[in-house]
Structure 1
């Protein structure tokens, strides 16, 4: 990964998923946003960025691009992402929500064969506090430090960061992996990244009902993660059989345990893995301090 202020960043598309405020915030944070891509608008300026029709034109003018932030219509995401992979961009952040699942399957096969990291869809991206903002995280909630955050949610990610910041616990990296039906990078990948990151001393994992990614993360933590991990599961009171729309869980009913995907199932998995679980976001800083002290 290249998550430094020198990283060259491009934005593909200017839809409702990103605004002038977001782009201004990224640039003010020191993110090196060099251009936008919006077919049919080449040669113009949007949000004070030079705009090109094709990504290869951006590469031709600015050289290799490290990260693209995709904000096109969800049905155009696959084409935009494949164009990025063909342009040798190895970090793709998809802000857009509602990408067709089969498009994501095709994209992830291509990304894996090209060793490309995909974050999202339906994600506010990544922030390395004090260094770089890639996406729509509200940077005012963050401060540099040593706690890594990996989350399926968007707004809960910010709330957890703010609780840590208020408690004097800064963050090393914060990422929302997204909450569409099928997403790119997983809890497991980010747990490994944060476990190997020299700046990170503890990890906070934020989950929610739907799917089985938290259960897989709990098993992985018990088997492979050395740093202290604190979990928080939203939606504990969600009615049984109901699934949060944004989690987009597929085929979660047929042939599966009736408790599959429930908050209770996820809590049980973390309990079995001996991962402390906060009952509310305000408890997270205390648990983080205990984890760091005992590690």
Structure 2
């Protein structure tokens, strides 16, 4: 996975209220947004941003585009994404949640064929504190530093950032993969990306209890990821058989009879501890464990045996 963070950003669905709320805020943060796309709105402007009817028109007039943020209706996400891919855009952040599963299947096939990276659906995006904000949520809690936050939940990322800031641990990268059962990119891909990021010295991994994906990460964390990772899994106090997904995902899973393996909090904790992987039981434990992980390994000094005393006389 190779995610480019240079700032040539397009907004698809710029006419939506969510996009109009966050666009000026992203721009004020320093994100370079070159314009937006809204069918029938070409030639107009929102603030200082030009609006185009088509993505291809935007690329022709504004130049190469690194990333497109997609705010359109969930049932329009597939068309908007395919239009962006056809225009040569290689990174998509899908803010819209509730994209139909079959639409995601087709989109993921096209993205793999065209080597396009996707974050989402239902993602609040990503933040490089002090440099770049792509998405929604609130970024005033994020401060520059060397700890990356990789999460499924935007609000949890903000809470953890507050705890980290209190002990002087800023953030190098904050990314929300979303809570979809068919994500464009997953924890494993982002862990490998962050492991190669020179600005990241440690990673806070924020998942959920009962998830098969988090269990499947254990061999990767143990054998492949060199950067220290501390894991926290939320939902330990929720009933075991209660899903932590959003309502639309729960209904879709029930209709399709998609039942995933469920692990108790004790089983999840034991699985990580058995492999001696850093695991926090509460968000407040994360700063302590991350500080410990960032400390250089202690070097053992070899103690020399004192010379034996020479007897004086008999």
Matches within 5 A, 1:273-292: 273-292=275-294
Matches of 2:281 and 2:103 in 1, distance apart?
A: 36
Matched, 1:99 2:99: yes
Task: Describe the superposition over 1:142-175 as per-residue Cα deviations: whole angstroms up to 9, x where unpaired.
Answer: 1111001111112111111222122211111110
- The 3 A distance-change label for structure 1 pair 163 and 55 is same
Matched, 1:82 2:103: no
Equivalent pairs counted in the alignment come to 291
- What SS does the aligned partner of 1:10 have? strand
Aligned counterparts of 1:17 and 1:225: Cα–Cα separation in 2: 40
Which residue of structure 2 lines up, in the alignment, with residue 182 of structure 1? 182
Distance 1:292 1:253, change over 3 A: farther
User: C-alpha offsets along residues 29-58 of structure 1, whole Å, 9 cap, x if unaligned?
Assistant: 111101111111111123542111100000
* Gap runs ≥5 in structure 2: 298-314
Superposed CA deviations along residues 237-273 of structure 1, whole A, max 9, x for unmatched, are 111211023283648987865xx25544433332233
The 5-angstrom pairing of residues 163-202 of structure 1 reads 163-202=163-202
Unaligned segments of structure 1, at least 5 residues? none
Q: Which range moves more in the overlay, 46-55 or 131-140?
A: 46-55
Q: Is the 8 A contact 1:10 1:65 kept in 2?
A: yes
After superposing the two structures, state which structure 1 stretch, 7-16 or 283-292, moved more. 7-16
Q: Say which one has the larger Rg.
A: 2
Offset, 1:279: 1.8
Mapped partners of 1:17, 1:187: distance in 2: 30
The alignment's TM-score, normalised by the length of structure 2, stands at 0.86
Q: Which residue number in structure 2 is paired with residue 41 of structure 1?
A: 41
Alignment of structure 1 residues 87-166 onto 2, 5 Å = 87-166=87-166
Q: Distance in 2 between matches of 1:280 and 1:210?
A: 16
Question: What per-residue deviation string (whole Å, max 9, x for no partner) do you get for residues 58-78 of structure 1?
Answer: 001011100000000001001
CA distance in structure 2 between the aligned counterparts of 1:52 and 1:254, rounded to whole angstroms:
40
| Partner Cα distance (2:10, 2:19) in 1 | 14
Match of 2:272 in 1: 270
Task: Tell me the distance in 2 between the aligned counterparts of 1:282 and 1:110.
Answer: 41
